[in-house]
Amino acid sequence: MDNQFWIDRWQNKETGWHRDNVHPLLFKLSEEFFEQPQQIFVPLCGKSLDMVWLAEKGHEIIGVELSPLAIEEFFEEQKLVPKKNQLGDFLSWQAGSYQILEGDFFNLTADFFAGNFKSCHCWYDRAAVIALPESLRNKYVEVIQMILPGARGLLISLSYDSASRQGPPFSLGDNEIKALWSAARKISAICTVASEIGKGKGSGQLPAFKPTNVTEHAFEICL
Ligand SMILES: C[S@@+](CC[C@H](N)C(=O)[O-])C[C@H]1O[C@@H](n2cnc3c(N)ncnc32)[C@H](O)[C@@H]1O
């Protein structure tokens, strides 16, 4: 699984993870979690409508996404015409409350982030870390820790009977998430819900994904 894998998924419209409504756990938790309007970093953002939900609550969104097609579709669907400009290694697309950086998340650096987004102290991860193979997950955590020191994050993870399927999405339950974020000041499980993913119902279905016991977990992480 390399960057081309994701570019191809968008090109071939194989984006079953995309929901046509806000994620139910974000719906339930966002007001309590992200109290004041603030900048929220959304790694591996795709064209998620969770960004729209957060923006409607008054937040400013900073996304990072590899696929220009995903970003183009996001702005088109939101009926916004973005301004584009080069920002370090990234192409920044900006309109309304959204700034999406086109490029590789793993090229983010502490200097770049502090220089451009120093007021950002929180992040939202849905289907980001669980989209990555094991070989990249620790690196993902290192990048978040490096660019967002002291920040607070809401992570929505997914776990299932992993013998039944290989990812993405990868199965990351309570123990795996806590181990991954073991250097954090605080990590706490907020809630777990049975997921409709894999049952062929609702939004964000993955056509070839039919595992058993799918649950989604929300965590609070404080760095
Ligand atoms: C499973 S999707 C989830 C998208 C979004 N978070 C959502 O909930 O709909 C993972 C996204 O990460 C993007 N992606 C994968 N690797 C990336 C990287 N290294 N840098 C930036 N984006 C990446 C993919 O193009 C894809 O849109």
Question: Which structural domains are found in the chain, ordered by start?
Answer: 3-30+37-222 (3.40.50.150)
Is the separation of the CB atoms in 55 and 61 below 8 Å? yes
Condensed to tens digits (0 to 9), the pLDDT of residues 189-204 reads 999 888 776 555 545 5
Q: Say how many Å lie between the CA of residue 8 and the centre of ligand 1.
A: 12
What is the C-alpha separation between 50 and 27, in angstroms, rounded?
9
Write down the pLDDT at residue 198.
Answer: 58
Condensed to tens digits (0 to 9), the pLDDT of residues 105-127 reads 999 999 999 999 999 999 999 99
Condensed to tens digits (0 to 9), the pLDDT of residues 153-186 reads 999 999 988 665 677 888 898 999 999 999 999 9
Q: Ligand 1: which of 41, 66, 203 to mutate, judged by most atoms within 8 Å of the beta carbon?
A: 66
Is the separation of the CB atoms in 217 and 177 below 8 Å? yes
Ligand 1: residues whose CB is within 6 Å?
A: 3, 6, 17-18, 44-46, 48, 64-67, 70, 104-106, 126-128, 131
> Whose Cα sits closest to atom 12 in ligand 1?
44
- Reference 218, options 185, 177, 180, 186; nearest CA is 177
Average pLDDT of the chain? 92
Q: Ligand 1: which of 5, 20, 44, 69 to mutate, judged by most atoms within 8 Å of the beta carbon?
A: 44
Span of 48-57, 140-149, 195-204, 208-217 with lowest mean pLDDT: 195-204
Is pLDDT of 138 > 70? yes
Mean pLDDT for the stretch of residues 194-220: 71
